[in-house]
Amino acid sequence: MERVSPLPHSPEIVLINPLVYASEGLRGTLVPQFPHLPVAAVLIVLTIFDALFLATGLRQFRRKAVS
């Protein structure tokens, strides 16, 4: 009997959340003997999210404070 997932694309959707990468990086640091995402992938994705949030925050700040 095959298990049917209520959300078939949920593993891909979860990867949009930056907290997933933060927790994977912490898990990889604290318990390296267990499987986790590669550290390089975690650092790259967190850097991308940081740049995205910084750009969005600066744009919002300029829009509200400088105008």
Q: What are 12-63's pLDDT values in tens digits?
A: 888 889 999 999 999 999 998 999 889 999 999 999 999 999 999 999 999 9
Distance CA 22, CA 28 (A): 10
- Global pTM reads 0.77
The rounded distance, in Å, linking the Cα atoms of 6 and 4 is: 6
Domain locations in the chain? 11-66
